[in-house]
Structure 1
Amino acid sequence: MRTTARSAIAPGITHAPHRRPGFAAALIHRLSGIALALFLPMHFIALGTALQGADRLESFLGLTHNGFVRVAEWGLVCALAVHMALGLRVLAIEWLSYRERTAVVVSGCLATAFAVGLLFLLSGA
């Protein structure tokens, strides 16, 4: 008969799922999705100004010369790359029987995403 340690906080909980790489990957995937969703209204405003003429669009795009906006654009590209890479991880988990090295896969996804963000940042400089 197997005995398991019980948590004093909640009966029946025998492990800490928040300390696993898969949980961190899922959390980062959700947070990057929220960041992308928060960007959408600004994107729609930019599209709306494009419909009003080239002059309006140019004046709106003049905001992108601000340092804060450049950092935000870099964060957006990183969020997009992270969301895409971790989304591919989710698809791999669902379609393939590949779950043993989750920490390696998560680290690879994050490294790839930040490399894409760094390339974006360097190409705009």
Structure 2
Amino acid sequence: MKASSSLKTVQPDISISECSYSKVLEIIANKWSALVIYALEDGIIRYGEISKRIDGISKKMLTQTLRQLERDGLVQRDMTPSVPPIVEYSLTKLGESLLEPLSALKQWTRTNYSLVELARSSFDQANKKE
């Protein structure tokens, strides 16, 4: 009897830096990117409003994050020439497609973060230096 060979598609290891999953995590897994996407989930808003919605973000970090998200195709920037110029931001269709998975993460956080805090506290107590 002849051994049959089957062709399997090998899935990339997510730990490899060339993996698209790793590359997407570089975009959205930082604290500010996810928060900016959340700030934009209700539609078109101006820079100052985004800044008000995200506690603790500096103007420099907000600008850098918006530029990176715009570069990645997740955010659209529209400027109306006036004095001063009116600059508005919104999610692109691609950016909107991230709302569902980020919403699932938000729900997981609501459900489980107290358990994370409890685990940390237990770990810290068990590993307390005397």
Q: Same fold (TM over 0.5)?
A: no
Question: TM-score when scaled to structure 2?
Answer: 0.26
Q: Higher strand proportion, which one?
A: 2
Q: Higher helix proportion, which one?
A: 1
Q: Which has the higher contact order (CA 8 A, sep 6+)?
A: 1
Question: TM-score when scaled to structure 1?
Answer: 0.27
